[in-house]
Structure 1
């Protein structure tokens, strides 16, 4: 009986672990541009098979990716670009310009990501407003499709303030 209870307890722990291990949603926010949170190695393989050619990673160097993303991306023939964005402070003109340039230099579909999609959405919205002349609301909508959530207020502020808008 004790063995049976122990086995049931161990099995019950597997479900939450499986839920935690689920892949992060990556959304095609417009044709050829995927955005979201940290991809798994399997998602990178799937995206490469679907034609993605460039990965733009906005995470800080010390953020845990769970695997060697650079090595996996490069082994798949993907161009890997790292542009570290540190929260709201990282939503500056230099990072927005760097992401815009990386998107322009891409040779095909792109994955833009951070940990959760929040920074990716914020930066993408700012790129959309600054370089593609979208309205603030259009830029925010694009950012939200990419995962913009807690950085929305900071993004709105940058969109509304010409002196600090990228």
Structure 2
């Protein structure tokens, strides 16, 4: 074989390796940039979740979630929420939340609920507040500590009472937002309401 052909073949192989290396470098850079973007987006989402944990819209007039931070309460006010219904037992945290909510121009209802079925009075108070929120354009935010069990129960009751959900549909939604299946009295209250 002539020497020039061997040189040409070596150069071609070298060029091929150079192109492969360049493509690999380019893909690494793009992947790194993409990972960085996702990381920033995830950081923002985590911060939002920290301020408003397990936050979801049920209707334009009804929202649900876990205990909001002070920043979370301000975000709720900015979203136009006018009433906070807090299912936690009275204490320093509920007093602080009430004061801040009122400073932000929101009504605050403390409706302490345990892991037992809600009383008829608790259900009626909740449903009346949501009805008023819907009719008077005063959106309601319902929460407990985590926004999953007690909150899930009352949202489930709302779904079967007002939205025409079956118990199965309501329970599926409750589970989607982390309702614990061990809370039989809470899910039982939704089931009983679905039969009425």
TM-score > 0.5 by shorter chain: yes
Q: Which runs of 5+ in 2 are unaligned?
A: 1-46
Between Structure 1 and Structure 2, how many residues are aligned? 144
For 2:103 and 2:181, the matched residues in 1 are separated by 34
CA shift in 2, pair 1:141/1:134, >3 Å = same
Output the TM-score relative to the length of structure 1.
0.72
Output the TM-score relative to the length of structure 2.
0.62
1:157 CA drift (Å): 2.3
Q: Tell me which structure has the larger Cα radius of gyration.
A: 2
Question: Post-superposition, which runs of at least 4 consecutive aligned residues in structure 1 deviate over 4 A?
Answer: none
| Residue aligning to 2:31 | none
For 1:142 and 1:100, the matched residues in 2 are separated by 18
1:152 CA drift (Å): 4.9
| Residue aligning to 1:141 | 172
RMSD: 2.9
For 1:52 and 1:151, the matched residues in 2 are separated by 31
Q: Which runs of 5+ in 1 are unaligned?
A: 1-18
CA shift in 2, pair 1:150/1:61, >3 Å = farther
Partners of 1:38 and 1:114 within 8 A in 2:
yes
1:150 CA drift (Å): 4.7
Question: Alpha-carbon deviations, 1:66-95, whole Å to 9, x = none?
Answer: 871011101111111111112224x23221
Q: Among residues 121, 129, 133, which one is paired with 2:152 in the alignment?
A: 121
| Residue aligning to 1:32 | 61
For 1:151 and 1:39, the matched residues in 2 are separated by 25
Structure that is richer in helix per residue: 2
Question: Alpha-carbon deviations, 1:24-73, whole Å to 9, x = none?
Answer: 232223333221110011011011111111111111113x5287101110
Partners of 2:77 and 2:106 within 8 A in 1:
yes
Q: Which has the higher contact order (CA 8 A, sep 6+)?
A: 1
